[in-house]
A and B are shown apart, each in its own frame.
Chain A
Amino acid sequence: MKTLKNLIYLLIVFLFITSCSSDDETVPAPLGDYVNGILITNEGPFQNGTGTITYVSNDYTTIEQQVFNQVNSADLGSIVQSIGFNDEVAYLVVNNSNKIEVVNRYSFESIVSITDGLMNPRYFISSGTNGYVTNWGDPFDNTDDYIAVIDLLSQTITSTIPVAFGPEKLILINNVLYVAHQGGYGQNNILSVIDTSNNTLASTIEVGDVPNSMVVLDNNLWVLCGGNPDYTGNETNGKLLKIDVSDNSVIQVFDFLTSDHPKHLSADGSHLIYNLNGVVYSKDEADISLPQESIISGTFYAMTTKDGKLYATDAGDFASNGTLKIVDLSTNSEIQSIQTGIIPGGVYFND
């Protein structure tokens, strides 16, 4: 029976291991006011998890992770794609959970969750009392893509505008909505032009393959097209296009090399900034050719500019926390490197 005693002792030791291994590392940070700062959308792990929002104050002294999750004691959802704003309200578009979380943009307190009428929602923009959300529909069906129109007073989807496949980013110029059809899991090469006065598709503009980002500069719409990637078997070059929005005509086209697939177009003063082949280029809008010299190096998952600064995210191995790099564009030197959540896919300014 002595062995039995020893055995029971062993059993107790093992059970003890059980009881002393619970960890509580996450101490909720004090809930702040999320005004005057930067918001980063973190997609979260693709298969199993939740996306988050990171807040960074403009003076970089306050950094808070999981803002929505902390304020509302709830998961934000799977693949937080983007944020759109309307006055004091922020629309957090959660792609894989097929919903939009509507929150107060400064307190992040939840107002409502929009779920009906969304299928793979991507980006949101507001115009007057309407919000517009690009939706892929079933990503393997190229004929069911649409723009959902949200009545911003009732926060419900009131109508849909069927569009060509793969609608992605949106930009609003003089009450006209331009929708870039990046092409979902495939590739497309047009912009849809939507008249917001009657919510109908007015026309389409053919651009290069895979229009991935747009920016307005001096009343011209600049569109950056990545081109078809190599694996499609029909690789095409990237393009930068300038569109005159008075008649929607393409007035200038800059061609990249066939193997070059630029992305993340944004503007800094009169400069157009984009990411290509592991470096960032800056082109003056008046230059007649693409720049040869880069300004900084890095391959970024999201990139944007504001007030002479570049905000670029690195998603690392896509299975751990990413980083936000802030670069002073007057000296092209890094000012800050800030930890974000998992797969930081968008940078927004909450002033």
Chain B
Amino acid sequence: MCSASLCAQLDSIQYLNEIVLVDSKLEEFSEGYTLTKISDTLVSRNPVSLSDLLNFNSNIYIKENGYGMVASPSFRGTNASQTAVIWNGIPINSNLTGQTDFNTIATASLTNVIIRSGGGSSQYGSGAVGGSIHLNNTIEFTENSSNELTIYYGSYASVGAIFKRKIATEKKYLDMAFDFISSDNDYEYVGLNRKNNNGEFNKLNISMNGGLRLNNSSLIWNSNYFSGSRNLSGTITTLNKDSYKDETFRNLLTWNSTSKKWNNTIKGAHIFEKYQYYPNRENVLYFEGKSNTIIGDYQLEYNINEKIMVSSILNLTHIKAEGSNIGDESRNTLAAIFIWKQLVSDQLSYNINIRQEFFNDFENPLIVSVDTKYKINQWYSLKANASKNYRVPTFNDLYWNSGGNVDLKPEISYQGAISNEFYFKNFFLNVNLFYINSKNLISWQPDMNGIFSPINVSETENIGLEMGVNFSKSIQENMFNIGIDYAYTSAKNIETGKQLIYVPYHKVTGTIDYRIQRFNAYYQQLFNGKVFTTTDNSTYLDSYLVSNIGLDYFFLYKTMPIKIGFKINNILNKYYENVAYRPMPNRNILTTITFKF
């Protein structure tokens, strides 16, 4: 009923043929990369947003402008536009900002979330520099009909509901998920005798996924609609009146045909995104931006022999964006990708990826990556990868009025990583070392007339160490699981030698799970080291340690499985900020009840 594993490595997971991962290349061509899967159990413990989920379960630093507000990641010390978010294989970072706001991603409808550490531009395009976050829906062609309803209620008048329905046969599959949350979000600033003002939010997400299995082919459809409305929290020194509305709609159709030697995949996708910013929510005036992206993608895989597979992908992307401050602009990009995969022996395999883009108005860099996995023995594997990656200027960077700069070049990064994985009976250890050198980083700076304009200016060097341990043990009816992740990140501006702002040197996350009979108790902990808030490192935020505890209880009502969950966030009632002057919530509770029928 409930898996207690913290972060299972993909290598150890057996996929049944009946289960189709829409983004098949994620596992097929990434052996030399660290992939970390966040299980649905963890997803269900952090139902509100992707920010919560990653904050407590990954090495990624999340900058949140107050709880539930605009949130952006720093992955391996890179900037917010250098983490790609990939939905079923399709990149969904905003064309306007280059980022994904992690508080606009609903997680309940996803089968799993996979974190791919390291550069992935050769496969996933712009922005996959520090790493990529993969939001996956799997299609399961096994006889099934199930319904699941979760209702949750928590502090600050937070109410939410998740309804999931799944119907499947061996030939057909359909699921839908409906996810809604609303919160006053007026938490207390610990020790300041004040409440969070103007922080109300509500979010609605509807997702549908369907599949048809024919003889040697399959047709899969993924669809997701999100609508969010937020007031934007003030800071310690300001009271805000502004508000923000987001809307995204994504559709993806995938047709796949397989023979012994050949595998053809054709994809068509449409992505719509829109935001509206109201400087004063009491007034009708707003600023907006929206974009439509159409993607056509053809992938041909050919098995030369049992050991060698080649794959080529042609991807055409058309983007049309318009907005109050950018006018009406469009971009076409053709990308050609070639992948070579060889299994040298049972122990050793490697992949080579080459990507070239065409048509972009700016320089089109040639992107290359190489990765390898060497399974030295049963308990030890060595992985290594090296890649060149890029991030294209966003529509805001290019066309924003005032300041947009059409002469920008893409940001370029070179990186390498070595990863050691140790497997023992109940124990898994992972040690990664990485190096990233980024050039031509885009930074908005004032010109002679004081108008801010983006330029390719800075160069950074990131060096880091990541360690993850996971330990499980069962003693009779008692099941323990402990997982700890630690990351050390040095990210320097080469010119000044200073640590980049909002990149902690240290981040530690940990979870302890204990199961006995129908009870599952857990403890989550997050430690963020101090982060600098100014580029000269003259001011910083203190380090903090936040802990959550929770208890889940499972029982049957007649034949209906029911789970009741109770969780206390920030149990020690710590004051903490991950963006300066924007305090995060005090101690608060979340109760959930889930019915399966």
**B471 lies within 8 A of A4 (CB):** yes
**A49 lies within 8 A of B580 (CB):** yes
Q: Interface centre among A3, A23, A139, A230, by most B CB within 10 Å?
A: A3
A197 at the interface (CB under 8 A from B): no
**A141 lies within 8 A of B237 (CB):** no
B424 at the interface (CB under 8 A from A): yes
Partner of A321, one of B65, B402, B536: B536
Residues of A within 8 A of B542 (CB): 22-23
Q: Interface centre among A4, A48, A230, by most B CB within 10 Å?
A: A48
Stretch at the interface among B120-128, B257-265, B355-363, B447-455: B447-455
A246 at the interface (CB under 8 A from B): no
Cα–Cα, bound, A140→B237 (Å): 21
Q: Interface centre among B426, B449, B471, B534, by most A CB within 10 Å?
A: B449
Given contacts A48-B581, A319-B534, contact A78 B543 (CB under 8 A): no
Cα–Cα, bound, A231→B545 (Å): 46
**B506 lies within 8 A of A318 (CB):** no
Given contacts A49-B581, A261-B449, contact A342 B534 (CB under 8 A): yes
B508 at the interface (CB under 8 A from A): yes
Residues of B within 8 A of A21 (CB): 506, 529-530, 543
B305 at the interface (CB under 8 A from A): no
Cα–Cα, bound, A45→B581 (Å): 10
A184 at the interface (CB under 8 A from B): no
1/0 per residue, CB under 8 A from A, across B389-430: the answer is 000000000000111000000000000000000001011000
Cα–Cα, bound, A97→B237 (Å): 6
B211 at the interface (CB under 8 A from A): no
Given contacts A18-B545, A139-B279, contact A97 B530 (CB under 8 A): no
Chain B nearest CB, measured from A151 CB (Å): 25
Residues of B within 8 A of A336 (CB): none
Residues of B within 8 A of A278 (CB): 448
**A3 lies within 8 A of B237 (CB):** no
Partner of B401, one of A75, A139, A231, A301: A231
Residues of A within 8 A of B283 (CB): 138, 140-141
Residues of A within 8 A of B527 (CB): 14, 17-18
Interface residues of A in 303-324 (CB under 8 A from B): 315-321
B482 at the interface (CB under 8 A from A): yes
Cα–Cα, bound, A299→B279 (Å): 31
Residues of A within 8 A of B237 (CB): 49-50, 75, 77-78, 96-97
Partner of B533, one of A45, A138, A263: A45
**B451 lies within 8 A of A231 (CB):** yes
Residues of A within 8 A of B236 (CB): 50, 75
1/0 per residue, CB under 8 A from B, across A135-153: the answer is 0001111000000000000
Residues of B within 8 A of A18 (CB): 508, 527, 543, 545
Residues of B within 8 A of A342 (CB): 534, 539
Chain B nearest CB, measured from A232 CB (Å): 8
A277 at the interface (CB under 8 A from B): yes
Residues of B within 8 A of A47 (CB): 65, 235
A11 at the interface (CB under 8 A from B): yes
B368 at the interface (CB under 8 A from A): no
Partner of B285, one of A3, A23, A140, A320: A140
Given contacts A22-B542, A321-B538, contact A315 B446 (CB under 8 A): yes
A-B contact count (CB 8 A): 117
1/0 per residue, CB under 8 A from B, across A58-85: the answer is 0000000000000000010110000000
**A50 lies within 8 A of B506 (CB):** no
Cα–Cα, bound, A261→B449 (Å): 7
Chain B nearest CB, measured from A301 CB (Å): 7
**A317 lies within 8 A of B484 (CB):** no
Partner of A4, one of B448, B473, B486, B543: B473
**A45 lies within 8 A of B580 (CB):** yes
Residue on A nearest B401 in the bound complex, by CB: A231
Residue on B nearest A13 in the bound complex, by CB: B486
Chain B nearest CB, measured from A12 CB (Å): 11
B238 at the interface (CB under 8 A from A): yes
**B469 lies within 8 A of A7 (CB):** yes
Chain B nearest CB, measured from A24 CB (Å): 10
B445 at the interface (CB under 8 A from A): yes
Cα–Cα, bound, A261→B402 (Å): 15
Chain B nearest CB, measured from A93 CB (Å): 14
Cα–Cα, bound, A319→B496 (Å): 14
Given contacts A48-B579, A96-B237, A97-B237, contact A11 B279 (CB under 8 A): no
A229 at the interface (CB under 8 A from B): yes
Residues of A within 8 A of B508 (CB): 14, 17-18
Residues of B within 8 A of A321 (CB): 534, 536, 538
**B529 lies within 8 A of A48 (CB):** no
A202 at the interface (CB under 8 A from B): no
Residues of A within 8 A of B484 (CB): 10-11, 14
Given contacts A4-B473, A11-B484, contact A48 B235 (CB under 8 A): yes
Residue on A nearest B542 in the bound complex, by CB: A22
Partner of A48, one of B427, B451, B580: B580
A-B contact sample (17 more), CB < 8 A, given A7-B471, A50-B581, A231-B451: A7-B427, A14-B486, A14-B508, A14-B527, A18-B545, A23-B542, A50-B236, A77-B238, A78-B235, A78-B238, A96-B238, A97-B239, A138-B283, A230-B402, A299-B448, A318-B445, A321-B536
Chain A residues engaging chain B, CB cutoff 8 angstroms: 3-4, 7, 10-11, 14, 17-18, 21-23, 45, 47-50, 75, 77-78, 96-98, 138-141, 229-231, 261, 263, 277-278, 299, 301, 315-321, 342
7 nearest A-B pairs in the assembled complex, by CB-CB distance: A231-B402, A320-B536, A78-B237, A48-B581, A320-B535, A320-B534, A48-B580
What are 30 inter-chain pairs, A to B, with CB distance below 8 A?
A: A3-B424, A3-B471, A4-B471, A4-B473, A7-B427, A10-B469, A10-B484, A18-B527, A23-B540, A45-B533, A45-B534, A47-B235, A48-B579, A49-B237, A49-B580, A50-B236, A77-B238, A97-B237, A97-B239, A138-B283, A231-B403, A263-B450, A277-B448, A278-B448, A301-B450, A317-B535, A320-B535, A321-B534, A342-B534, A342-B539
